[in-house]
Structure 1
Amino acid sequence: MFYFDDGPGHDRTAPDTRSLHAFAPGAELRHDRLTGEPVLVAAHRQTRTVSSAGGDCPLCPSRPGHPTEIPAGDYHVAVFENRFPSLGGPVGGRCEVVSFSSDHDRSFAGLSDARRFTIGRAWADRTAALSAVPGVEQVFVFENRGAQVGATLSHPHGQIYAYPYLPPVQASVLRAARAHRAAGGGCLLCPIVADQAAGPLVVAETEGFVAFVPEAARWPYEVHIAPRGCVPYLTGLDDEGLAELMYLYGDVLSRFEDLFGDGETAYMACWHQPPLHQTDLTHFYVQVFTTRRSADRWKFLASSESGAGAFINDVLPETAAERLRNVRVRGRA
């Protein structure tokens, strides 16, 4: 259990009083012989905790008679190893849960700047620690918010997967980065970020970072956030840069939440840090997207997307960028 606080002076020494079964991850890594891609089989996750009510939430602080995953009676940010992991054991790797707040009803977009910075510190700290675990090839930070995109707990939280192999999306980006360098280019992301920062697809920006809709967006509403300079990992940012990034990230999430005027837009957020042990891909980016394409319609991955891997977007990226730009972000005039 790791606690990260907005400031000093907090006691987080309460012990875990539960009697738990021995931790025994049961994941298995297989390979698709047709595509060559890895597939994790984790049947034990069928029994993982599913809860949407605050009274029995496993991520709320422990209280008398109701011990939870987090022993402390209060906390700011807590990180612990997932008891129902998709990785670990013979497969290798690690799965960690990151709880963003002790407040069950808070969303990431509703957190203070100080808390967002604390979460960024936690992500950077765990990126460094998990990158040092033998056999880990990729550290992937993510959040699923909303039951419509598969979140099984409504408490504000995300996860970190330390993959012992390279996931297909990262493998594809790495191939493109290597081809770009082999053709005489440098960093694959740097010219993309520069081009997008000067175009009509920008949603929001700061001095050091830019948020934009990718020109070939796969999802109805999708935003990438990237540093303007070439920074490979969260660990490469100083405190000022990390605070600036987390401010912009919160801004983007606020736009997604309020995109359709109800504050309930479900989304997925993926932090694409480069694979470890390579020098071709040297620029991280964040991907935020929703499968909601209008107030009452959702994007489903039908045969073209699920079977052929050929995405069809129902929303023009330029239209998505304009709508996201025009969302009134909370706390601003």
Structure 2
Amino acid sequence: MTAATSTTLADGRELIYFDDGAMAKPHPERDRRPLLPRSDEDTGEIRFDALTGDWVAVATRRQTRTYLPPANQCPLCPSTAENLSEIPGPNYDVAVFENRFPSLGPALGMAPSTPGWGTSGTGFGRCEVVSFTSDHTGSFGSLPPQRARTVIDAWAARTEALSAMPGIRQVFPFENRGEEIGVTLHHPHGQIYAYPYLPPRAAVMAGAARRFFDAADGRLTLTGSILGSERSAGDRMIAEGRHFSAYVPFAAHWPLEVHLTPHRQVADIAGLTGPERDELASMYLDLLGRLDNLYATPTPYIAAWHQAPVDDYFRPASYLHLQLTSPRRSADKLKFLAGSEAAMGAFINDSTPERAASALRDAGAHSKASASTGGRTQ
């Protein structure tokens, strides 16, 4: 188990250190910045779009968030006398803290249950930043396997804690990598959003999973059935391990899209066993290495961990999996969401999933890490 130590920042936000290994390291330093105390009154609002059934968060304070600062002013690097950052201690392993400029929260509570046109509510929820390392350069893909495992344990611990908070219906860990995606900090990091409602894509996926589950009388899950079909077909598979498989989905939306799925149904990262987390660390690093081996420059991506909703209705049918997507369609071209995708949600893929899978198989990286957990590449 990864050791964790909780402390408080100057304005009252929580900061949690996750240390490599089972022994906690000392973290005695305190935040010395003259920050004003944060209040639940700082929480924004959510507004209901009656045309789509979506909630939209309104968080005007995000306009002042930090944007691509120089390295000596990075808020995720350890604090120094010249740069009092979000993390007061010296070198750390992994740090998780409440976002200073959150889209949701810090107040917690329930979203309106029967919304209609003109319905608004408090933007309840919680947004956290996950800093993968104290090193300013690099990426998740350059982490050693032990550190990747520590991040996974941090995701698991925060998923469990956030899921238990009042009003939370969905916990979403994710990472944006690359300025092309909209990253505002170069330091290797991700985020976790805890929503008071089911976000649109989560709601669609949960509904499809529940309908399939009901039609199968609870004997099969939708994601498990898809995983079995992809493993049988084989032409879109990228890697298979003892506990996880990675493949390009049959109807991939993006030029580069990979799903990493456990072989057994599990609701969220917190439900993974130790051996499963070990293999997940190595296979995830392998996938990110393949993505970066495709071209001469690093590939931008969004890593989205789709977990089961917190509620009891959708949870039995839901199935943890990662969706790793990139808009990069060639060495010097990106796919932009224009009219059809942005306005209608109707995606058009310029390549085939089979071709993308073949390229990713050929771009094999971190083969030793994959082999060390019993995994095999296709």
TM-score, structure 1 normalization: 0.96
Q: Which residue of 2 aligns with 1:208?
A: 243
Conserved? CA contact 2:213–2:317, under 8 Å: no
Correspondence for 2:253 among 211, 218, 235? 218
Conserved? CA contact 1:174–1:280, under 8 Å: no
Name structure 1 gaps, 5 residues minimum: none
Letter paired with 1:20:
L
| Distance change in 2, residues 1:250/1:41 (3 Å) | same
- In the alignment, structure 1 residue 3 sits paired with structure 2 residue 38: no
- Partners of 1:332 and 1:261 in 2: how far apart? 22
Q: Secondary structure at the match of 1:147?
A: coil
Q: Which residue of 1 aligns with 2:60?
A: 43
- Partners of 1:308 and 1:282 in 2: how far apart? 26
Shift of 1:4: 0.6
Letter paired with 2:19:
D
Conserved? CA contact 1:18–1:67, under 8 Å: yes
1:108-257 matches, cutoff 5 A: 108-184=140-216, 186-198=220-232, 199-257=234-292
Q: Which residue of 2 aligns with 1:311?
A: 347
Q: Which residue of 1 aligns with 2:305?
A: 271
Q: Which residue of 2 aligns with 1:329?
A: 365
Post-superposition CA distance 1:208-232 (Å, at most 9, x none): 1001001100000000000011111
Conserved? CA contact 1:23–1:83, under 8 Å: no
Letter paired with 1:168:
P
Post-superposition CA distance 1:243-291 (Å, at most 9, x none): 11121111111111222132x1111000000101124433110010111
Post-superposition CA distance 1:12-70 (Å, at most 9, x none): 12100001133254421111111111111222111101125211110000112321000
Correspondence for 1:104 among 136, 156, 160? 136
Shift of 1:188: 1.4
Shift of 1:239: 1.4
Post-superposition CA distance 1:136-189 (Å, at most 9, x none): 000000000110001100100000000100000110011111211232253111
Conserved? CA contact 1:26–1:44, under 8 Å: no
Correspondence for 2:50 among 17, 33, 37? 33
Name structure 2 gaps, 5 residues minimum: 1-14, 108-121, 370-378
Q: Tell me how many residue pairs correspond in the alignment.
A: 332
- Partners of 1:283 and 1:188 in 2: how far apart? 8
Letter paired with 1:37:
D
Conserved? CA contact 2:72–2:83, under 8 Å: no
- Partners of 1:173 and 1:80 in 2: how far apart? 29
Shift of 1:9: 5.5
- Partners of 2:129 and 2:139 in 1: how far apart? 16
- Partners of 1:328 and 1:182 in 2: how far apart? 39
Letter paired with 1:93:
G
Shift of 1:331: 6.7
Give 4+ residue runs of structure 1 displaced > 4 Å after superposition.
330-333
- In the alignment, structure 1 residue 15 sits paired with structure 2 residue 30: yes
- Partners of 1:65 and 1:218 in 2: how far apart? 45
Q: CA RMSD in A?
A: 1.5
TM-score, structure 2 normalization: 0.85
Fraction of identical pairs, as percent = 48
- In the alignment, structure 1 residue 285 sits paired with structure 2 residue 321: yes
- In the alignment, structure 1 residue 320 sits paired with structure 2 residue 337: no
- In the alignment, structure 1 residue 55 sits paired with structure 2 residue 94: no
Shift of 1:10: 2.3
Which segment is superposed worse, 2-11 or 104-113? Answer: 2-11
| Distance change in 2, residues 1:9/1:191 (3 Å) | closer
Conserved? CA contact 1:258–1:327, under 8 Å: yes
- In the alignment, structure 1 residue 87 sits paired with structure 2 residue 104: yes
1:63-82 matches, cutoff 5 A: 63-82=80-99
Which segment is superposed worse, 248-257 or 209-218? Answer: 248-257
Conserved? CA contact 2:131–2:189, under 8 Å: yes
Letter paired with 1:46:
Q
Q: Secondary structure at the match of 1:210?
A: strand
